[in-house]
Amino acid sequence: MKFKALVIDIDGTITCKNRELHLGAVKKMRTLNVPVVLATGNILCYARTASRLIGLGGAVIAENGGAVTVRYDVNGIFEGSLEECEKAFSFLSQHFKLTKLDPTYRKTEIALRRDFDLEEARSLLETQPFDIELVDTKYAIHIKSIKINKGIGLQKLAGMMGFEAEDFVAIGDSANDAEMFEAAGFGIAVANGDERVKEVANYVTEASFGDGAVEAIEFLESNGWI
Ligand SMILES: O=C(O)COP(=O)(O)O
Ligand SMILES: [Mg+2]
C-alpha cells in the first residue's frame, strides 16, 4: 500500500505536551515527498500560519472541517451552522458560565474553554432539537454541527487536490480526528491519544505528542507506505 498524501492534526500531535510546536515533527514533515495537509479544530488562520511556517503547501482543514483551503492564494471554503451552534450556546449558557475561544475569527462553530461539566452539558443538549454535538479535543470543547467533521473536510479537500480520501494516511490524537481516520486509508494515533481515536486507529505509536508523529512517519517510511 502506498499513500499519496498525509493529513496530520496539530494540537497534541505535532506539538509538545506544553503545546509548543515540536521541532522534530517539523523536521520530519519537511523530509516528505508527498503533500502534507494540516487538519485542526482551531481556526483557519492558525492552520494556514502553521502550514506556512512549517513549510507546507497551505492545504488545510480547520474548524473541524468547517473551513477548507487547498492553497494560500485561494479563499477558504466555509460550511457549518454557526446559527445552530449559537442556539445551543445560548441554551447551555442558562446552565453554565461559558467562555468562547477566538469567537472573532471562528466562522462555522463555537469553541469553549474546558471549564464546565461536559457530560452534564451533553445530557442537557439531548433534550433540545439541535443537530449539534460537543467534542472535547483536550484543548477546547467544540459546539459543532454533527454534519461537519475532519473526515468530511478530508473528502472535500482530497477531491480539490485530485486525490481520494483513501489516498491519505492520517495521524492524530483526539476524538475530533476519528472521522478523519475512518475517511483516510490508514489512521495512526499517537500514544497520548484519547480512547475514541485509538479505537478507530490502525496503529498506535509508543511515543507521545510530536515524538509520536515522528515515530508514525518513520513507521510508514519503514513499510514503504509513504
Ligand atoms: O482546536 C482544538 O480544539 C484542538 O485542535 P486540534 O484539532 O489541532 O487538536
Ligand atoms: Mg489534536
> H-helix or E-strand containing 189?
strand 186-189
Q: Report pLDDT for 102.
A: 94
Report how far residue 37's alpha carbon sits from residue 195's, in angstroms, rounded to the nearest whole number: 24
Whether 10 is in the pocket of ligand 1, judged by its Cβ within 6 Å, is yes
CATH number of 79-143: 3.90.1070.10
Contact call for residues 68 and 153 (beta carbons, < 8 A) = yes
Is pLDDT larger for residue 74 or for residue 105?
A: 105
- Separation of CA 177 and ligand 1 centre (Å): 9
Whether 140 is in the pocket of ligand 1, judged by its Cβ within 6 Å, is yes
Whether 11 is in the pocket of ligand 1, judged by its Cβ within 6 Å, is yes
What dihedral angle (degrees, nearest 10) is formed by the CA atoms of 62, 64, 69, 75?
Answer: -70
| Residue 136 marked as a ligand binder | no
CATH number of 3-76+147-221: 3.40.50.1000
Q: Report pLDDT for 76.
A: 85
Residue whose grid cell is 481520494: 164
Residue 170 identity (one-letter amino acid): A
Catalytic pick from 9, 167, 194, 211? 9
Residue 73 identity (one-letter amino acid): D
Report how far residue 1's alpha carbon sits from residue 50's, in angstroms, rounded to the nearest whole number: 29
pTM of the model: 0.97
Task: Count CA atoms within 13 Å of residue 25 on its CB side.
Answer: 30
| Site to substitute for ligand 1 among 9, 15, 42, most atoms within 8 A of C-beta | 42
Q: Do domains 3-76+147-221 and 79-143 have the same CATH topology?
A: no
Helices (H), the chain: 23-30, 44-54, 82-93, 118-125, 150-160, 178-183, 195-199, 209-222
ipTM for the whole complex:
0.98
Q: Report pLDDT for 201.
A: 98
* Atom 4 (ligand 1) nearest CA: 41
Ligand number with the minimum distance to the CA of 144: 1
9 a catalytic residue: yes
Ligand 1 atom index nearest CA of 47: 8
* Atom 2 (ligand 1) nearest CA: 41
- Domain chopping of the chain, boundaries: 3-76+147-221, 79-143
**Tens-digit pLDDT profile for residues 48-99:** 999 999 999 999 999 999 999 999 888 889 998 999 999 999 999 999 999 9
Contact call for residues 206 and 71 (beta carbons, < 8 A) = no
Whether 149 is in the pocket of ligand 1, judged by its Cβ within 6 Å, is no
CB under 5 Å of ion ligand 2: residues: 9, 11-12, 173-174
**Tens-digit pLDDT profile for residues 141-182:** 999 999 999 999 999 999 999 999 999 999 999 999 999 999
| Residue 95: Cβ within 10 Å count | 12
Report how far residue 180's alpha carbon sits from residue 158's, in angstroms, rounded to the nearest whole number: 12
Q: Report pLDDT for 9.
A: 98
